[in-house]
Amino acid sequence: MTIVSSEWPDGDAVGEFTWRISVFTADNRPVPLAGRSQTHEAALHDMVVKARAYMAQEPGTFIDRTALHVNRNYVQVQGIIDPELSVDDIVARITAAYDAEAAADAERERRRREIDAIPTLSPTPAGSVREAWNDVEAWLTVNTDYTADNRVPTQELRGTDGWPDELVEFLTLYSGAPYRLLPLNALLTVEQIHDARRSMAKVWAGLAAEEPEMVDANASAHPAGTPAYSFIDEYIPFAGLDGYFWFVDTRPGPMHGCVTEYSRDSSDEDGPKWVSISAMLTDLADSLAGETAFDRMWLSSVTDGEIDWQIRR
């Protein structure tokens, strides 16, 4: 069974393998064709035959672009409009595309397991914020070229009384540094830190009011480094983007001042990344200078004068 539709076939249709192939008109308009086949191989064959039959009977021209799904697994191939290529040739291209995607998925899973096997908490001890930052800054001066708009402006440290000394020292140093110094995050100004704390406090206060069982009311009483599974007042973010933050945990205890990640998906459940800001900066300086992994998985390069972070292979 084959239908010309943007909808998937009904669940009671014959065949175990649902498929959809979209061919594209000259104005890049997709025309979806969908159906079911008994086997995966038959699905690949059937979709190519039906797509070519449709294009043969329709007026107008089609561009060499084809998007297709089998059981909602998506790939793109070219060549379907080439009369020199047989149906089997196109099927072979689709098969190769699926094989390549499966290999990429397997590699991503291998890398994920490899990274997951590395402890979240770096073994680097606390040190000197200024010395580590000097090393970072020296590397930035030689290797990068950021415009003023992409740098943290000079800022006043208003409202920072009681914050950990290392955090305050770091804030005094990174004026002029690139916002996107860290992977997946942008350095925050002091004003942005205050805004983020107010915003997150409002979000979690609302959740606590609506679903109190989802929030640990005693999280602030636990030692620093203990997951709160929320965002609490004792967390001071210094970098963030799109609902993700790196923050300093100011609760008392041996891990006071540790650096932890908050994500909108899993809050702070992964625990601390570094024992302190200085430990984080030491790892950052070592990573930039020696091209070693930062935060277990990130490798830096420089593109158009700016740092580009990629997950290590």
Query: H or E segment at 107?
Result: helix 87-116
Residue 262 has pLDDT above 90, yes or no: yes
Query: H or E segment at 57?
Result: helix 40-57
DSSP readout, 159-190? T-TTS-HHHHHHHHH-TTSBGGGSTT-EEPPH
Q: What is the pLDDT of residues 48-102, one digit of tens each?
A: 999 999 999 988 899 988 888 898 888 999 999 999 999 999 999 999 999 999 8
* Alpha carbon distances (Å) from 255 to 40, 103, 112, 271, 275: 54, 41, 27, 11, 6
Average pLDDT, stretch 186-194? 95
**Structural domains of the chain ordered from first start:** 2-116 (no CATH), 129-311 (3.40.1580)
- pTM of the entire predicted model: 0.68
Q: Which two tokens stand for residue 30?
A: 């997709």
In Å, how far from its chain's centre is CA 58? 42
Instruction: Describe the crossing of helices 87-116 and 40-57 by its angle, rounded to 10 degrees.
Output: 130
Residue whose tokens read 């040739």:
89
**pLDDT value for 115:** 67
Confidence of residue 105 (pLDDT cuts 50, 70, 90): confident
**pLDDT value for 15:** 60
Phi, psi of 69 (to 5 degrees): -135, 140
Q: Which two tokens stand for residue 46?
A: 């059937």
* Alpha carbon distances (Å) from 195 to 4, 159, 199, 231, 237: 52, 12, 6, 14, 10
* Alpha carbon distances (Å) from 41 to 46, 52, 76, 93, 274: 9, 17, 17, 12, 51
CB neighbour class for 241 (10 Å; exposed up to 12, middle 13-18, buried from 19): middle
Q: What is the pLDDT of residues 126-174, one digit of tens each?
A: 999 999 999 999 999 999 998 878 888 888 889 999 999 999 999 999 9
Local structure of residue 214 (DSSP, 8 states): G
